[in-house]
Structure 1
């Protein structure tokens, strides 16, 4: 295992990991169990490695089968005429191309959805603007299960914004299928109402020389847990996973990912940044990268940084890197959790900037690296405004 801490993190006085170092998985991620059958998975009790950071009592029954569907999600798609939007049944042969459920909630969502939304960007098509998918929760006190698949066929190039809004409880699977030499950029915004619970499993499948860009933004909800898995189906795949999250009092925001390098000459880069404020605000980031024996010439790096703004907030950060071959281009990871840098604040205040404005500038700078990668102006402006609103809550 290779572990690195960047020079930038060291300069900011950030600790390497949240609980005294990296937690090594109990078994190889290459042996991870997957199944469509709900009963093939044990009911998680909260002590299992994959669930030990998740407050299972707040999952509203998604994990143990007691959460029956009492509502439906609404899916609105806005796209140009060249993009195909379909509502299909469970028997559609395309469903499942992205991947197979790897936990009980994903399997429950798979067995419970009745119709799936399939959005296809045909081969060689490059939509002029972003495709917009808005997912509305089932409503207060209601539970729903959903399934969405987004496809980019050969040589297609598209940006898709998936926007989660509203209330209720949602268990879902979402697939991203990127065919040979296609490019798919996803921006997912989890901006739920305060009561919402979401557990989402994201399955990305990359063909030969495919490029996948994914930016996850998590702001709202009571509990949001997102599992993202990237699988390479052939050589030359390139994946970039970016994330931005901001947790307030009582919120639990959890991001887990597995980048499964099973093919040679593929690349991946993971960068997630989060901020926390308020009592019992809790964020979790688990980054697993597996480089299998056949994945020669792999190049990968993952980094997670967290900024704790107030007392009572907690961030957990666990990067895991598993390497089965020495024939790689490079691999590493870094993880950091820290508070405001007093020297930075003093520097700004000594130049006449009031403390509240100085704190805002520090947070803006912290998230700036992520925000500048958002190519959709209206989404970037919306997120900048949301961060300002978060800071205003505590009068920062």
Structure 2
């Protein structure tokens, strides 16, 4: 478990403390009511007295499609320092998908819920919009892109509103079987759709997803990781959000031995709103890692990021690294990110690293927060004083903690199934 978070400007924060211009050593805000957390830089606000993070600006992080520029990671790199690399050896290897083009493919795709106005096809390398949005930021993303001949393409045509979710069921057929995947979701102007990506079964899976939300579009992507306990999953999900468009990405990770997802978005024009939400539950021996990046690269857009996780059991491990970059040209930005972790048993560990870079002072607001802790004893006492047994009271507290994310999911059947999943997770350790 991480140490008790410090407070800066009244906000609980994770790993390290830095000094920010305009703040006293006690964390009193001398300039404006802005939430500040650890491990970040603030460009455009003057020179900081002390910067303890060695990550460097996210604006300078290398992206590209040339695998030679992404050597095998050693674990010393900023983007890999929390990750158990030995467990990812299969998905980081530059070899073709096992059984590609045969009936022995280790992962099966099934698309359902399409209606008139939704076109499902495939895209080969060089066929737009494949590669228009995705900006591979690590070796895994490049390997996945390079080794998929045909990407699944789901296009929602202009002015089409899809009432029911479009579902893509991704099922692994064998533990340790290596598979790469690529999905392109294109939402044309003024269209509206919810796309559900559900991962089940067993495989070593490397999956990229890119989403293009055109002007006025409304797109939600719900990625469910319900793998078996022996599965490995890495992936990068990138989105570009157009003028006056809205985009929501929800990541729910309950299954899998090792799961590492990078979820990112940027903007094509002003007036857009984008949101990222995440829910995860790590059990003994399980590693769940989520990394988010919001690139405010155009003016007058807003973003909201909220990830919540619970951990139980010896060696249960979760990682959340959240990056927000507000570029010099992104005047009028309104952005906030937060991560909260609930540790249920001894031996579990949650790492939480919020990073915020601001290159202009002409913004509506920017803040972030991070906290990791155990049950609130006051909540337990309140429930138990009303005759609720301790084990039931603990379940109620955890469900209440997670419910904020569950309610962000527009699909009632998924909300109901998640309630059942969380009930089973809590029973594993007797909570």
The answer on whether the counterparts of 1:5 and 1:334 sit within 8 Å (CA) in structure 2 is: no
Q: How many residues align?
A: 388
Report deviation, 1:341.
1.4
Structure 2 gap ranges (5+): 1-5, 18-36, 40-52, 100-104
Look up the match of 1:117.
152
Q: Give the whole-Å Cα distance in 2 for the aligned partners of 1:375 and 1:236.
A: 23
Look up the match of 2:388.
353
Q: Give the whole-Å Cα distance in 1 for the aligned partners of 2:254 and 2:9.
A: 27
The answer on whether the counterparts of 1:122 and 1:156 sit within 8 Å (CA) in structure 2 is: yes
Deviations 1:279-320 (A, max 9, x none): 100000000000000000000000100000000000000000
Structure 2 length normalisation: TM-score?
0.87
Report deviation, 1:18.
4.5
Look up the match of 2:49.
none
1:74 to 108, 133, 136: 108
Match of 2:143, SS state, is helix
1:41 to 70, 80, 83: 70
Structure 1 gap ranges (5+): none
Look up the match of 1:256.
291
Look up the match of 2:248.
213
Q: State whether structure 2 residue 13 is matched by structure 1 residue 16.
A: yes
Match of 1:61, SS state, is helix
Look up the match of 1:140.
175
Report deviation, 1:249.
0.6
Look up the match of 1:222.
257
Report deviation, 1:42.
2.1
Report deviation, 1:33.
0.6
Which is further off, 201-210 or 282-291?
A: 201-210
Which is further off, 237-246 or 339-348?
A: 339-348
Which portions of structure 1, spanning 4 or more consecutive aligned residues, are displaced by more than 6 angstroms? 3-7
Q: Give the whole-Å Cα distance in 1 for the aligned partners of 2:291 and 2:127.
A: 28
Report deviation, 1:87.
2.2
Deviations 1:312-351 (A, max 9, x none): 0000000000000010000000000000112221221111
Q: Give the whole-Å Cα distance in 2 for the aligned partners of 1:319 and 1:133.
A: 31
Look at both structures and tell me which one has the larger radius of gyration over its CA atoms: 2
